[in-house]
């Protein structure tokens, strides 16, 4: 397994243009949230929900991703945990309004990916995930590592 800095170095190769970076600061968190929200909105069969109170499909994906982040960097995994909690708080708030989480999440997902591809068109390089799907998980922590650096928090 590559180190976190090796992943960041390779990811950064296709994220040099300031406009592409700005687009990623907006779109990567939106894509992350929209995936959680879409998974959250998938109905759970009653035979599962009757036996496991509060069960949701997104929890499995979050758990698996979190194991990945823990192996990559414990400090960054803590930051991701805070971000995941914030994502769920938004989802829970939307749920209380009665609005369709799946429609909102799908719309955000599509628009954010359009933004990502515009950013990469400006960059002149293909998205990293086309080389390795793990880069879909690297994007959020790549952004987070800049916050850690700004706050002088070690992430390795």
User: pLDDT tens for residues 36-56?
Assistant: 999 999 988 777 766 777 778
Question: Residue 143 falls within a domain, yes or no?
Answer: yes
Q: Using 50, 70 and 90 to split pLDDT, how confident is the model at 1? A: low
The reply to whether 140 falls in a domain is: yes
Q: Is residue 102 part of a domain?
A: yes
- Does residue 88 sit within a domain? yes
Residue at 22 is within a domain: no
- Give the pLDDT of residue 128: 85
Give the predicted TM-score (pTM) of the model.
0.91
The contacts of residue 90 (CB under 8 Å, 6+ apart) are 33, 37
Residue 17 lies in a domain: no
Per the structure, how many domains does the chain have? 1
Helix (H) or strand (E) holding 26: helix 18-40
Region 19-40: mean pLDDT is: 97
Q: Tell me what pLDDT residue 127 has.
A: 86
CA atoms within 13 A on the CB side of 84: 18
Q: How far apart are CA 118 and CA 80, in angstroms?
A: 26
> Domain range spanning residue 135?
30-41+55-150
Give the model confidence (pLDDT) of 89-112 as tens digits: 999 999 999 999 999 999 999 999
Would 21 be classed as within a structural domain?
A: no
Residue 70 lies inside a defined structural domain of this protein: yes
Torsion angle, alpha carbons of 145, 4, 73, 64, to 10:
110
Could you give the CA distance from residue 95 to residue 38 in angstroms, rounded to a whole number?
12
């Amino acid at each position: 397994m590559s180190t976190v800095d090796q992943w960041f170095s390779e990811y950064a190769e296709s994220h040099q243009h300031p406009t592409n970076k700005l687009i990623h600061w907006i779109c990567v968190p939106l894509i992350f949230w929209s995936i959680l929200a879409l998974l959250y909105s998938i109905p759970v069969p009653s035979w599962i929900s009757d036996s496991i109170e509060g069960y949701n499909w997104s929890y499995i994906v979050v758990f698996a991703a979190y194991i990945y982040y823990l192996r990559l960097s414990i400090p960054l995994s803590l930051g991701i945990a805070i971000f995941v909690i914030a994502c769920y708080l938004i989802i829970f708030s939307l749920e209380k309004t009665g609005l369709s989480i799946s429609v909102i999440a799908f719309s955000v997902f599509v628009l954010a990916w359009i933004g990502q591809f515009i950013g990469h068109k400006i960059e002149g390089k293909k998205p990293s995930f086309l080389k390795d799907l793990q880069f879909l998980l690297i994007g959020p922590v790549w952004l987070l590592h800049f916050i850690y650096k700004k706050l002088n928090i070690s992430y390795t």
